[in-house]
Structure 1
Amino acid sequence: MRKLDNNELGRKSVETFKKAEKTPLILVLDDIRSLHNIGSVFRTADAFLIEKVYLCGITATPPNKEIHKTALGATDTVTWEHNKNVLEVIENLKKANIITLAIEQVESAIFLQDFTVEKDKKYALIFGNEVYGVSQDAVAICDGSIEIPQLGTKHSLNISVSAGIVVWDLFSKIKRAII
């Protein structure tokens, strides 16, 4: 076994990335304080060809040196938009027949491993503030909620970790649904 060189990874150019068919996932970040978390989510979005990232509320926007530090250029590839009002974003996504899912611990949440994707559907995943999570107002208008099972004592994960876990899981389920 040998570690691959960078030139063997088949990386897309920015132009090729922009033209590539995207995974039918949209990420909505609401009131994210950490610039490193924002950058990490962009990097995850790039890795899985995510369609779009919405930055809402106090969530900072590119260009930003601290976001760039963890995004490593993903803010140049991933389509993003800022909107102050997360409720407006969620409502607009729903009007476009996109299934909106709060990533949160709520009544009637579906555990991630039990969530089934529907073929030919598009999903928007709403991630909330590092301390307060997804707001109750946002949870109330979402189509549903997914919870990441946690068995330890903390029952909370960093938002960039949560995004990585959920995006990977839904990406793999979507790819299996296509086949």
Structure 2
Amino acid sequence: MKFSKKKFTGFNTQKQIRVILDICEHLQQIWQDEKQREEQLTELHHCVLWLPSELLPQFQVLTNTFNSLQDFWLAAVPILQKYQREPRDHDFLIYRKDTKKASETIPVYLILDNLRSAFNVGSIFRIAECFGLKQILLCGYTATPDNAKVKKTAMGTEKMVKWRYFEQTSAAIAFLKKQEIPIYALETVEGATAIDKFSPAESFALILGNEALGIPPHHLKMADKILSIPLRGWKNSLNVGVSSAIALYELTKSFVS
């Protein structure tokens, strides 16, 4: 985003503030790209200095020199909060540069069984990429990476993790069973085996169910094992993205060299 002084000063005050807040949020997304970062910091500097004099003291901190994203965020977050622009989960980035090593995959699959939330799907793509999973099988009305919300939350990882769509979850399970891949289901049902007490096969698939309804009984029957995350609290459930991260951490320990 780039504005001339004439165009920016022609905006009303609310629009000027909105432009500055948008630049702040955009900077967080592109911080690792040095060229884009410098361009946007320069643009931010200009826009702040073009503000009416009565607003300048509130925003002048944004014209400082920032050595890191942490430093910038320390200055920007109070302003974003004041104008009700708090960061959302899908906005967060790692503060250090992403690893330069080649991504390694492990023979582990996820089956997403009719997940309602595109946000959760995008989050799971990020988790799958971090753990180096081989493929995600998206089933039923689970959103695919063609969905804008999935793309926004996945933050590019939807291009790094292989995925395939199935109209029916049972077809996805059958597809993997033909390859003799064991199927595990993550569900809080009586008789489920705690993941920390279970030794997985060298290759396996994990079914994650609908956020509200869980995994239906006929899909549980198709699984070779039903696993659960031991919980101590009263609320016997976790967000599906959080659950997938916990389960994958525990089940993929044997792949860590």
TM interval, shorter chain, is 0.7 to 0.9
CA–CA distance in structure 2, aligned partners of residues 10 and 167 of structure 1: 20
Aligned-pair CA distance for 1:6: 3.5
Which residue of structure 1 aligns with residue 151 of structure 2?
A: 68
TM-score (norm. length: structure 2): 0.61
Report how many residues are paired: 165
In 2: Cα distance, 1:81 partner to 1:29 partner: 11
Aligned counterparts, 1:8-157, within 5 A: 9-12=98-101, 16-17=102-103, 20=104, 22-118=105-201, 121-157=202-238
Q: Determine what percentage of the aligned residue pairs are the same residue.
A: 35
Q: Deviations over 1:106-145 (max 9, x none)?
A: 2431101101124xx2110000100011111100111011
Larger proportion of strand? 1
Q: CA deviation at 1:63?
A: 2.0
What are the ranges of 5 or more consecutive residues in structure 2 without an aligned counterpart? 1-69, 71-93
Q: Where does structure 1 lack aligned partners over 5 or more consecutive residues?
A: none
Q: Secondary structure at the match of 1:60?
A: coil
Q: Deviations over 1:10-47 (max 9, x none)?
A: 235xxx44xx4x11210010110111100000000110
Q: Are the equivalent residues in 2 in contact too, given 1:117–1:174 (CA < 8 A)?
A: no
| 1:69 CA drift (Å) | 1.8
What's the TM-score once normalised by structure 1's chain length? 0.86
SS at match of 2:237: coil
1:163 to 237, 244, 250: 244
Distance 1:69 1:88 in 2: 28
Paired AA for residue 28 in structure 1:
I
